[in-house]
Every structure is written in structure tokens, then in C-alpha cells.
């Protein structure tokens, strides 16, 4: 049986960016989260913070614009922008720890039904890098995590309890995967949207905890 | 006598490094912000059993060749990976001890797996604040990052304002190696772009702070409103040779652009 199509990385980023509100301060993790930069509608003014010490940076630099002294947290060279500010690492994490980041988007290795996040140490690798993930996950006002719904060998990444080393406990507010959009609530995980061509039952099948189906559950809108 | 913190060479700047020293290394993990010339001098100087405190332990020259396939890499880039290759590192206190991709096995990761080096892994913001605490004379602080994770192991956890906090101590170091943009002979510093990063945080946090700069300007030339690191935090300043200076890097890229 041919595998059904799942949402692409770009589509996941597109869907996440719809959560960005005008005037928000947003920090984006490495990978799919960084792609979100491309998608908020132009009527929204968003201030992007990068933990290596910059607020309101511009787009990724072309080779001609590349400057070693202007990079994002993924090490990609970016451009300047009017209204940009620069700061040291302790200041940057005062912003983060102090709750001044409205929204953070991070990647996932496992996420639990209580919203515990594990995203820094793969057991099979045995050694990992925490980076800024713990600080961001535990202190952003809202945390959205993005992921493929299952691991490469088809196991759920949304689980009852994380078995991997944790990044932070009860920190996740929303999960956007290549199959679904799920809210983390006090009552449990609420399935809000499913990818086109997928049923609620199929998504549940690939999710360890029992999902609460939102009364208005709908297809992820791709436009 | 006029104060003059400018030393004649990078070798002179690191001549007093001793075996077993704890060294703060500025930067984030990319070439910009990395005190490359100081690190190279430390590599030659040869002090061993170092505890290095840094965000990203680094690539080393071999892996930089792989990085060069994806982005421009300057010849002068020299990082903690090279110090590790030289067997000068005993331990790292870092947020990024290994590279994100499991395919890129850094010298530090290799030696860690072989049991030759130790790691104390610290969340990035906690690392910054522990360094700042050393600079600011703070005895210890309760930090909301890490409860329920590997980070809280062996540490006091206290609930403050309804939230769990972990007790964290300052990181006290013997030397700090940092990269700045411009200095004056008094030791005032300004930085460039995101290269401020851990450099400005580390300035003044170790017993001896050594800054690697592009240029030393006359006293009075740096705008007092714009000085990021006041002179008292800095003990020595060493100046990069022309090929390592920011302006030159940009000039070359502009020439490349013109050729296209």
C-alpha cells in the first residue's frame, strides 16, 4: 500500500506561522521552526529574537551579503534590518528566562500528553547538546513544537510519558505535526486539525495517548 | 604613566597560561565572535588539562573543511575543537558539547566517547548567567531552568513563587579569551553584530580577560554612549593581523561580488 501523503516541512511551518500575532516577539529553533520566518502575512509585524544576541534581524543573507558577524542561532548568516538591536548572551537569556518571549517554536524528539518535551538527546547517540532549548521551552509565554508525527520506523513521537531525557516539563502548548494540529490542555491532548486525506482515527492510531477530538475538528487549511 | 593594555602579540597575551587553568572562551560556535588568534596562540603555548567554558566546544580544522562545503569558512578560524585535538582539554563546561548532526563527530565528542575528556553540560542561558554571576560577585542564584531534567541532578531545588528553581553557582575562571571589534588602550571595547554574544558576557568574568580586536583606536574615539565593555573589565588587548580583520573579509567578499 502506498504511503499517504503527509504535510511537508514547509507546510508545517506555514501552519505554525498562522499562530503568529501582530506585534509578537518570536524565537524560532533550528530546522522546521526557522522556516516559519517565510510565512506570516505581511500585515503582521513580528519581532524575531535569536538567542545568540539579536532582536529584529532581517532575512537570510545572500552569499554577497554574508557577514561572519551576523548569524542566527542556527549559524546561518542573516541580514540587518531597520530597528534591529544587538545584545550579549546574558542579556539575551534575561529576555528568555524573564518571560519576554511571546512565542517560541522548537523541534521534538518526544512530547508527552502532559506537554513534557524531550528534544536534545537521542538515546542511540548517547551524547547531546542542550543549547538554549531548556531555557526557551520552560520560559516562553507560548510554546509550539513541530515534528513528524512518527519516528522513521513508524513509532509515535507523541507519547504517554517521555522515555528520552527531558528538555522541560509541562511546557508545550501546541503540537503541529505532518498529520495534525493538537492543543495541550489540562484535560489532555485535543485534536483540532488533521492533514488532508487523513482521518481522525488514522491520526489516533499513530498517537500513543488517547486524543480528545475537538467538536469542530477540521482539515488543516493549506491556503 | 598612561595605561596601556595593548600587548604586542597573541603569544605574549597567553604566555602565563598554566596547566589545569579554567578558561572562558567567547563566541557562539561560528567563525564570527571566535577569538581564533588567541586560541591558536594557546594551542602553540601548550598549557594542558584545561577546563574550557564555552557555548560550543567546536569543530576543529578537519571538520571545518566539511563546514566549508556549506558556508564560507575563513582560513584563520581556530576553535576549541583544535585545542581538543592538541590534547590540551581535560573538561568542557558547555551548552553545545557535540554538534547537532550525529554525522559530524567533533574531536571533543570522539574523546568524550573514549573517556578522555569530561563534560559538564549546562543550558545556554544558565551558562551565560553563571558566567555573569562570577563577574557580578553573586554567590549563587536560583534558576527556573532545568527542574525535572538531568540539570537538577545533585542540586538544591527550591519552590519560589510556586515554581521550582535549581540552585546554580558562578563559574570562576582564571582566563577569559574574547573577541571584540575595536578597543582603546584603556581596554574599552565595542563589538560587531552578533559577535557580541558570549564575548561581552565573559568580559570581566575571569581573573584575567584578554580581548582580540581588529583595531586599537585613540582614547576618546569610541563613543561613551556606545562602549559595551567598560575598560575595567579588560586586562589585555591583542590586535589581529590584517587578513583576519572584519573589513578585509568584507572587502574580499565585495571584490568577489564585482567579479560575478
Count of C-beta atoms within a 10 Å radius of residue A164: 18
Hey, which residues 111-140 in chain A have their CB within 8 Å of chain B?
A: 116, 122, 125-135, 138-139
Which of A2, A69, A156, A138 is CA-nearest to residue B246? A69
Residue B250: its pLDDT value, please?
62
Q: Taking phi first (over 0 means left), then psi (-120 to 50 degrees means alpha), and beta for anything else, what does residue A184 get?
A: beta
Q: What sign does the dihedral B146-B147-B153-B157 (CA atoms) show?
A: positive
Q: What's the CA dihedral at B3, B4, B5, B11 to 10 degrees?
A: -150
Task: State whether residue A168 is helix, strand or coil.
Answer: strand
Cell numbers given for B37: 588568534
Q: DSSP class of residue A89?
A: H
What's residue B260's pLDDT? 47
Calpha distance A48→B233 (Å, rounded) = 31
Which of the two residues, B247 and A118, has the higher pLDDT score? A118
The per-residue pLDDT for B251 is 60
β-pairing verdict for A103-107 and A25-28: parallel
- Measured between CB atoms, does A62 come within 8 Å of chain B? no
> Which residues in B lie closer than 8 A to residue A164 (C-beta atoms)?
none
Measured between beta carbons, the chain B residues lying within 8 angstroms of A77 are: 71
Tell me the chain A residues in contact with residue B31 when contact means C-beta distances shorter than 8 Å: 68
Smallest CA–CA separation between B128 and chain A, in Å?
Answer: 5
Say which residue the cell 518571549 belongs to: A101
Instruction: Please list, in sequence order, all residues whose beta carbon lies within 8 angstroms of the beta carbon of residue B71, skipping any fewer than 6 positions away.
Output: A66, A75, A77
Q: From the list A68, A93, A134, which residue is nearest B128 (CB)?
A: A93
Contact A130 B151 (CB under 8 A): yes
Q: Is the pTM of this model over 0.90?
A: yes
Residue B258 has pLDDT above 60, yes or no: no
Which chain B residue shows the shortest CA-CA distance from A116? Answer: B148
Q: What is the mean pLDDT of each run of 10 residues along chain A (223 residues)?
A: 86 97 96 92 94 95 88 93 97 98 98 98 94 98 98 96 98 98 98 97 98 97 83
> Over the stretch A162-193, which tens digit does the pLDDT of each residue have?
999 999 999 999 999 999 999 999 999 999 99
Residues of chain B in contact with residue A119, where contact means CB-CB under 8 angstroms, are none
A51 catalytically annotated = yes
Minimal Cα–Cα distance from A182 to chain B, Å? 24
| Catalytic pick among A19, A51, A113, A193 | A51
The percentage of residues in chain B with a pLDDT greater than 70, rounded to a whole number, is 95
Is the CB of A84 inside 8 Å of chain B's CB atoms? no
Contacts of B55 in chain A (CB under 8 A): 89
B250 versus B200: which is more confidently predicted? Answer: B200
How many angstroms away from the CA of B157 is the closest CA of chain A? 15
Is A161 touching B (CB cutoff 8 A)? no
Q: Is the pLDDT of residue B259 over 60?
A: no
Across the range B35-51, mean pLDDT stands at 98
CATH architecture of A9-178: 3-Layer(aba) Sandwich (3.40)
Contact B94, B87 (CB under 8 A): no
Distance of residue B201 Cα from the nearest chain A Cα, in angstroms: 6
The answer, yes or no, to whether residue B256 has pLDDT greater than 70, is: no
Least confident of A177-191, B66-80, B175-189: B66-80
What whole-number distance in Å separates Cα of residue B133 and Cα of residue B130? Answer: 5
**Cβ contact A54–B193 (<8 Å):** yes
Q: Is the pLDDT of residue B257 over 70?
A: no
Pairwise CB contact (< 8 Å): A51 & B124: yes
Looking at residue A81, its pLDDT comes to 94
What pLDDT digit, counting tens, does each position of B200-233 carry?
Answer: 999 999 999 999 999 999 999 999 999 999 999 9
The per-residue pLDDT for range B111-156, each reduced to its tens digit, is: 999 999 999 999 999 999 999 999 999 999 999 999 999 999 999 9
Q: What is the pLDDT of residue B23?
A: 98
Beta bridge partners of B134: none
Strand bridging mode A117-118 / B163-168: unpaired
DSSP, residue by residue, chain B: -----B-S-HHHHTTT--TT-EEEE-S-SSSTT--HHHHHHHHHH---SEEEEEEE----HHHHHHHTTTS---TT---HHHHHHTT-EEEEEEEESS-SSTT---HHHHHHHTTSSEEEE--HHHHHHHHHHHHHT---EEESS-TTSGGGTTS-EEEETTEEEEEE----EEEEEEE-SEEETT--EE--GGGGHHHHHHTTTEEEEEEEESEEE-TT-S-TTT-SB-GGG-SEEEEPPGGGSHHHHHHHHHHHHHH-
d(CA B218, CA B215) in angstroms, rounded, equals 10
Interface test with A, best of B63, B64, B119, B125 (most A CBs within 10 A): B125
Residues of chain B neighbouring A168 (CB-CB closer than 8 A): 145, 148-149
Instruction: Give residue B148's pLDDT.
Output: 97
Record: contact A130-B128, CB cut-off 8 A:
no
For B50, B87, B105, B127, B206, the CA distances from B117, given in Å and listed in that order, are 10, 9, 15, 19, 22
Task: Report CB contact under 8 Å: A138, B145.
Answer: yes
User: A166–B148: do the CB atoms touch at under 8 Å?
Assistant: yes
Amino acid at each position: 500500500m502506498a504511503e499517504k501523503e503527509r504535510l511537508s516541512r514547509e507546510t508545517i511551518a506555514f501552519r505554525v506561522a498562522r499562530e503568529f500575532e501582530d506585534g509578537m516577539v518570536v524565537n524560532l529553533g533550528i530546522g522546521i521552526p526557522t522556516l516559519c520566518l517565510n510565512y506570516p502575512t505581511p500585515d503582521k509585524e513580528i519581532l524575531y529574537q535569536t538567542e545568540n544576541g539579536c532582536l529584529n534581524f532581517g532575512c537570510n543573507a545572500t552569499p554577497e551579503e554574508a557577514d561572519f558577524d551576523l548569524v542566527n542561532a542556527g549559524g546561518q548568516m542573516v541580514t540587518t534590518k531597520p530597528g534591529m538591536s544587538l545584545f550579549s548572551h546574558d542579556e539575551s537569556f534575561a529576555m528568555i528566562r524573564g518571560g519576554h518571549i511571546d512565542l517560541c517554536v522548537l523541534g521534538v524528539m518526544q512530547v508527552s500528553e502532559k506537554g513534557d518535551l524531550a528534544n536534545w538527546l537521542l538515546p542511540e547517540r548517547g551524547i547531546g547538546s542542550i543549547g538554549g532549548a531548556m531555557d526557551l521551552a520552560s520560559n516562553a509565554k507560548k510554546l509550539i513544537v513541530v515534528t513528524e508525527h512518527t519516528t522513521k520506523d513508524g513509532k509515535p513521537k507523541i507519547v504517554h510519558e517521555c522515555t528520552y531525557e527531558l528538555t522541560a516539563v509541562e511546557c508545550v502548548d501546541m503540537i503541529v505535526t505532518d498529520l495534525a494540529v493538537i492543543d495541550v490542555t489540562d484535560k489532555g491532548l485535543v485534536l483540532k486539525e488533521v492533514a488532508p486525506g487523513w482521518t481522525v482515527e488514522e491520526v489516533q492510531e499513530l498517537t500513543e495517548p488517547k486524543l480528545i477530538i475537538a467538536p469542530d475538528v477540521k482539515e488543516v487549511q493549506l491556503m | 604613566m598612561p595605561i596601556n593594555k595593548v600587548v604586542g602579540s597573541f603569544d605574549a597575551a597567553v604566555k602565563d597560561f598554566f596547566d589545569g587553568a579554567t578558561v572562558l572562551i567567547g563566541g557562539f560556535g561560528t567563525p564570527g565572535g571566535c577569538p581564533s588568534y588567541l586560541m591558536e596562540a594557546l594551542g602553540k603555548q601548550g598549557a594542558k588539562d584545561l577546563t574550557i567554558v564555552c557555548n560550543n566546544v567546536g569543530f576543529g580544522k578537519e571538520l571545518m573543511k566539511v563546514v566549508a562545503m556549506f558556508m564560507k569558512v575563513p582560513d584563520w578560524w581556530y576553535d576549541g575543537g583544535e585545542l581538543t585535538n592538541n590534547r590540551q582539554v581535560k573538561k568542557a563546561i558547555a551548552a553545545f558539547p557535540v554538534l547537532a548532526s550525529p554525522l559530524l563527530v567533533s574531536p571533543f565528542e570522539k574523546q568524550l566517547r573514549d573517556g578522555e575528556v569530561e563534560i559538564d553540560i549546562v543550558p545556554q542561558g544558565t551558562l551565560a548567567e553563571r558566567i555573569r554571576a562570577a563577574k557580578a560577585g553573586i554567590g549563587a542564584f536560583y534558576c527556573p531552568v532545568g527542574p525535572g531534567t538531568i540539570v537538577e541532578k545533585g542540586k538544591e531545588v527550591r519552590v519560589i513563587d510556586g515554581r521550582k528553581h535549581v540552585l546554580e553557582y558562578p563559574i570562576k575562571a582564571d582566563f577569559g579569551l574574547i573577541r571584540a571589534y575595536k578597543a582603546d588602550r584603556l581596554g574599552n571595547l565595542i563589538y560587531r553584530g552578533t559577535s557580541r554574544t558570549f564575548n561581552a558576557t565573559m568580559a570581566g568574568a575571569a581573573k584575567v580577560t584578554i580581548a582580540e580586536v581588529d583595531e586599537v583606536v585613540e582614547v576618546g574615539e569610541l563613543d561613551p554612549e556606545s562602549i559595551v565593555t567598560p575598560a575595567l573589565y579588560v586586562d589585555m588587548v591583542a590586535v589581529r593581523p590584517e587578513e583576519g580583520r572584519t573589513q578585509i573579509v568584507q572587502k574580499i567578499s565585495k571584490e568577489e561580488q564585482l567579479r560575478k
